[in-house]
């Protein structure tokens, strides 16, 4: 009788243990299901995106402009393109916000320092907050980086200095390259892991001696900064630019490219004609994004141009080694 | 290529070619509407300041500034730029004075003076100086009157009396730092705030009070960080070790016996941890991890079937300790123990682990240990807790085996 009782106790114990194990398993599975799976950024295939049909492009009267200081366009769920209002600064620069798991990277900070005129930090914080809500992430890190070291691309850098959970990439060549892990500028091509999103980064001097190009294998966007865009390509170092453009072509040969994206629009829709420097109103702007055919034109230019001067192409002007303010404009 | 505009020497200054004239006519109607915002020009001619303390005894302060659009009139700057060096020195004297009174360099909190040493004034034409889109930059080279020590804080401040083309990019090079430091000064943020170099940089990395406290303690007892890391590998990271130690606790034995068991467990896992770290033993995690889960089940089942501690219990706990040590080894390999202090770091890490385990026991005593004299303790507290521990261990075992 005692033996039966002990056996019954043993069975009870085993059932209890199994029940606890089952409950822990259910809890574990439920908890895992509640957790949002990490975002994935596969390199095969292409994460598509859209551009606005027309960017906000300033106004006849800059003083009376009522457009937002920063235009925000979601290229896709994890890629945002921002543009500074041309009425605030004629440069009308494009800035980029790339998201990965637990991290976002802001490339460039516009041409205006004053947060009252140009509240970039506020806008970026809002985008991040909405993105976090949408993708069940919280307290993601922000990296504030630059395509190159010209003042019209980092004027609002200071707005982020006191931001919590933020990495400020310094504004010197050495600090920039240390951040990206580029030891041999500009030749080296490095891969940067932005929370599972692979960015290929390399030096592309010519316009400025610290310039970088970024290839995002998830969207197939090739970001060319100020060294190649629809506008006046001011080149201090022709030989460096030649090598950079040819390197971009080589990257495009080895990787699928959806669009070339960049920092400014200075060309009109009419081939070979640019807006005057300093304009705060650009009606009938062409798209910002460029094509591989345009890159091929630039590669062609590297064989055609052989002396300082202004060279006019349909979609860009080459200002080779001349004072940049020497323009064809009034 | 559609066209090339030939670059002639004169076109640089005049900025107008034949084709440009036609385009000028085209654009005249729009010109009134296309006036750039007033702040635009400031970006093209922004100021650059370089404090170079690469050689601490000879510190240079270089300022790249559009004088003709800021501290001088365009005409005065054109005259100065076109003059000989004596006249340039005379023209720059009041400018240097303005800069010296408006720009402060603070080293370790004290203002350090500087003197104009040399300069380079460039201008292609008066028209270019006047044109806000064609900055004609002057380079002014100052020398600091005092050296900047190896461990220093450096701050640069532009007061309200000095208006320079904004923003002003500051670069500081210092012998103690492999990388320069950069700051952006704006009309609103006129101070770089202190930038720390040498030991001061290490001491101020991260401004949180807790970080400073940890750094201060580290300075007093450098090994403390290894103790802290060992502790963290129990609380909060070592959940299976916590459950195992609780399994030992719920046998309801005396405190002395319990500490003896936990210490044997720690000594045993220290041994395998050391052997694994030296590469003398190596067991894949796919084997160790399920066995650790099984050890938890074993210890719990032993509790359920033992009224008092068996002699072989201590042997079993020691053997399980050896097993748990192998589990720690993979963690420790990520910690990158310093080769020069390998043994002491390992010892301190284990001390931290022991402290973590004792903390678990202390918390268990505070939570339920005081009820041990209650007649129903075994039935109402220890047994259900032990069954829970066995259930958790069983689930981990199945999960870890299924992952293999």
B281-300 confidence digits (pLDDT tens): 778 888 888 999 999 999 88
b (16+ CB within 10 A) / e for A85-98: bbbbbbbbbbbbbb
Size of interface A-B (CB pairs under 8 A): 183
What CATH number is given for B220-403 in this structure? 1.20.1250
Please name the member of B31, B180, B387 whose beta carbon is closest to the beta carbon of A17. Answer: B387
CA distance A296 to B34: 33
What span, in angstroms and rounded, lies between the C-alpha atoms of B299 and B320?
9
CB–CB contact A61 B33 (8 Å) = yes
- pLDDT single digits (tens) B370-381: 887 788 887 888
Residue of B54, B181, B184 to mutate when probing chain A, most A C-beta within 10 A: B184
DSSP one-letter string for A17-48:
HHHHHHHHHHHHHHHHHHSPPPP---SSS---
> Phi and psi for B175 in degrees, rounded to 5?
-60, -30
Report the sign of the C-alpha dihedral through residues B208, B213, B218, B223, in that order. negative
Mind telling me how many Å the CA of B186 is from chain A's nearest CA? 7
**Residues of chain A numbered 276-315 and touching chain B (CB < 8 Å):** 276-281, 300-301, 304-305, 307-314
A312 to B1: CB separation less than 8 angstroms, yes or no: yes
User: Does B162 score more than 90 pLDDT?
Assistant: yes
Q: Considering the domain A70-320 in this protein, what is its CATH number?
A: 3.60.15.10
| CA-closest candidate to residue A118, choices A78, A74, A154 | A154
Q: With an 8 Å Cβ cutoff, are A326 and B394 in contact?
A: no
For chain B, give every domain's residue range: 43-200, 220-403
Please give, rounded to a whole number of angstroms, the shortest distance from the CA of A52 to a CA of chain B.
Answer: 24
> How near does any CA of chain B get to the CA of A46, in Å?
32
Q: How far apart are CA A313 and CA A159, in angstroms?
A: 38
Predicted-complex ipTM score: 0.87
Cβ-nearest to A328 among B17, B34, B35? B17
For all residues of chain B together, what is the average pLDDT? Answer: 80
Report the residue of chain A nearest B11, measured CA to CA: A326
How do A309-312 and A79-84 pair as beta strands? unpaired
Residue B31 has pLDDT above 50, yes or no: no
Instruction: State pLDDT tens for residues B105-154.
Output: 999 999 999 999 999 999 989 998 998 778 899 999 999 999 999 889 99
Alpha helices, DSSP H only, in B103-132?
126-130
B184 neighbourhood in chain A, CB within 8 Å: 113, 154-155, 157-158, 171
Higher pLDDT pick, B24 / A277:
A277
Cis peptide before A186 (omega within 30 of 0): yes
Note whether B166 contacts A113, CB cutoff 8 Å. Answer: yes
Average pLDDT over residues B42-70: 90
Task: Tell me: pLDDT of B308 over 70.
Answer: no
Residue numbers in A near B3 (CB within 8 A)? 272, 311-312
Helix, strand, coil % in chain A, rounded to nearest 5: 30, 25, 50
The pair of structure tokens assigned to B122 is: 């460039």
The answer to whether B31 contacts A323, with C-beta atoms less than 8 Å apart, is: no
Which of B250 and B41 is assigned the larger pLDDT? B250
- Indicate which of B30, B37, B38, B298 best probes the interface with A, i.e. most A CBs within 10 Å of its own CB: B37
Average pLDDT over residues B39-43: 36
Shortest Cα distance, chain B CAs vs residue A127, angstroms: 24
Q: Which residues on chain A are in Cβ contact (under 8 Å) with B128?
A: 325
How many helical (H) and strand (E) elements, i.e. helices and strands, does chain A have? 5, 14
Cross-chain residue pair A151–B19, CB shorter than 8 Å: no
| Residues in A touching B390 (Cβ below 8 Å) | 17, 20
Instruction: Give the pLDDT score at B326.
Output: 82
Q: Who among B15, B181, B390 is closest to A326 (CB)?
A: B15
| Cβ pair B383, B252 in contact under 8 A | no
Q: Is the pLDDT of residue B18 over 70?
A: no
Question: Is B395 near chain A, with CB under 8 Å?
Answer: yes
Confidence of residue B251 (pLDDT cuts 50, 70, 90): confident
Q: Tell me which residue in B11, B182, B395 faces A21 most closely, judged by beta carbons.
A: B395
Of A89, A157, A323, the CB nearest to B134: A323
Find out whether B191 and B155 touch, Cβ atoms under 8 Å.
Answer: yes
Q: CA torsion, points B291, B297, B301, B307, in degrees to nearest 10?
A: 90
In the numeric block, which tokens belong to residue A38?
């990490």
Q: What is residue B90's predicted lDDT score, i.e. its pLDDT?
A: 96
Q: What are the DSSP calls for B366-400, one per residue? A: HHTGGGTTSTTHIIIIIHHHHHHHHHHHHHHHHHH
* Residues on chain A touching B1 (C-beta within 8 angstroms): 300-301, 304-305, 311-313
Q: List C-alpha distances in Å: B176 to A317, B191, B197, B241.
A: 45, 22, 6, 44
pLDDT at position A60: 87
CB-nearest to B34 from A28, A91, A281 is A281
Contact at CB, B7 and A322, closer than 8 angstroms: yes
pLDDT band of B1, cuts 50, 70, 90: low
Confidence of residue B6 (pLDDT cuts 50, 70, 90): very low
* pLDDT digit string (tens) for chain A, length 330 residues: 445 566 667 788 888 888 888 888 888 888 877 776 789 999 999 999 999 999 999 998 888 899 999 999 999 999 999 999 999 999 999 999 999 999 999 999 999 999 999 999 999 999 999 999 999 899 999 999 999 999 999 999 999 999 999 999 999 999 999 999 999 999 999 999 999 999 999 999 999 999 999 999 999 999 999 999 999 999 999 999 999 999 999 999 999 999 999 999 999 999 999 999 889 999 999 999 999 999 999 999 999 999 999 999 999 999 998 865 565 555
């Amino acid at each position: 009788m005692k033996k039966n009782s002990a056996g019954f106790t043993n069975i009870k114990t085993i059932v209890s243990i199994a029940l606890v194990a089952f409950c822990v398993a259910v809890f574990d599975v439920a908890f895992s299901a509640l957790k949002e799976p990490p975002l994935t950024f596969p390199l095969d295939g292409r994460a598509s995106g859209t551009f606005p049909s027309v960017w906000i492009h300033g106004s006849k009267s800059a003083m009376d402009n009522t457009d937002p200081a920063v235009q925000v366009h979601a290229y896709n769920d994890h890629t945002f393109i921002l543009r500074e209002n041309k009425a605030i600064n004629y440069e009308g620069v494009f800035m980029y916000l790339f998201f990965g798991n637990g991290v976002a990277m802001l490339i460039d900070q516009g041409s205006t320092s004053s947060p009252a005129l140009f509240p970039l930090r506020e806008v970026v914080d809002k985008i991040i907050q909405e993105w976090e809500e949408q993708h069940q992430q919280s307290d993601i890190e922000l990296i504030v980086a630059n395509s190159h070291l010209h003042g019209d691309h980092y004027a609002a850098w200071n707005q982020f200095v006191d931001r919590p959970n933020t990495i400020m990439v310094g504004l010197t060549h050495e600090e920039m390259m240390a951040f990206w892990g580029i030891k041999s500028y500009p030749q080296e091509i490095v891969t940067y892991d932005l929370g599972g999103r692979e960015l290929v980064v390399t030096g592309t001097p010519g316009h400025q001696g610290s310039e970088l190009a970024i290839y995002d294998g998830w969207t197939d966007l090739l970001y060319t900064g100020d060294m190649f865009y629809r506008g006046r390509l001011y080149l201090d170092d022709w030989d460096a630019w030649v090598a950079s453009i040819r390197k971009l072509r080589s990257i495009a040969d080895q990787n699928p490219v959806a669009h070339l994206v960049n920092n400014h629009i200075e060309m009109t829709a009419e081939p070979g004609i640019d807006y005057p420097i300093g304009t705060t109103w650009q009606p009938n702007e062409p798209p910002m994004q460029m094509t591989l055919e345009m890159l091929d034109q630039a590669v062609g230019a590297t064989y055609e141009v052989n002396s300082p001067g202004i060279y006019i192409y349909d979609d860009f002007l080459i200002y080779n080694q001349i004072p940049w303010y020497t323009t064809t404009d009034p | 290529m559609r066209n090339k505009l030939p670059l002639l020497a004169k076109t640089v200054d005049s900025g107008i070619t034949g084709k440009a004239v036609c385009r000028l006519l085209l654009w005249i109607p729009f010109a009134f509407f296309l006036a750039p915002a007033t702040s635009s020009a400031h970006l093209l001619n922004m100021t650059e300041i370089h404090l170079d303390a690469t050689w601490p005894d000879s510190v240079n302060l270089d300022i790249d500034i559009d004088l003709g659009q800021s501290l001088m009139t365009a005409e005065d700057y054109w005259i100065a730029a076109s003059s000989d060096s004596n006249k340039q020195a005379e023209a720059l004297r009041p400018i240097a004075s303005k800069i010296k009174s408006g720009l402060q360099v603070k080293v370790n909190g004290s203002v350090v003076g500087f003197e104009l040493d040399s300069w380079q004034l460039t201008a292609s034409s008066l028209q270019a100086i006047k044109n806000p889109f064609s900055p004609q930059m002057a380079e002014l080279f100052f020398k600091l009157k005092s050296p900047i020590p190896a461990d220093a804080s450096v701050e640069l401040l532009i007061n309200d009396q000095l208006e320079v083309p904004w923003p002003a990019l500051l670069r500081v090079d210092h012998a103690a730092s492999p990388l320069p430091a950069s700051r952006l000064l704006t009309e609103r943020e006129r101070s770089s705030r202190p930038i720390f170099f040498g030991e001061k940089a290490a001491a101020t990395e991260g401004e949180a009070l807790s970080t400073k406290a940890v750094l201060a303690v580290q300075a007093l007892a450098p090994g403390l960080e290894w103790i802290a890391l060992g502790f963290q590998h129990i609380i909060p990271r070592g959940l299976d070790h916590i459950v195992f130690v609780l399994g030992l606790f719920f046998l309801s034995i005396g405190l002395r016996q319990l500490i003896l068991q936990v210490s044997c467990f720690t000594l045993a896992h220290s041994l395998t941890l050391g052997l694994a770290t030296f590469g003398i033993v190596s067991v894949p995690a796919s084997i160790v991890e399920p066995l650790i889960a099984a050890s938890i089940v074993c210890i719990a089942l032993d509790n359920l079937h033992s009224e008092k501690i068996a002699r072989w219990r201590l042997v079993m706990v020691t053997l399980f300790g050896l097993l748990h040590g192998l589990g720690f080894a993979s963690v420790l390999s990520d910690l990158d123990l310093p080769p020069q202090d390998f043994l002491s770091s390992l010892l301190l890490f284990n001390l931290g682990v022991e402290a973590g385990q004792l903390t678990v026991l202390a918390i268990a005593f505070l939570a339920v240990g005081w009820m041990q004299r209650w007649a129903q303790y075994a039935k109402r507290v220890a047994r259900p807790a032990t069954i829970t521990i066995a259930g958790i261990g069983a689930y981990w075992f199945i999960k870890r085996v299924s992952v293999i």
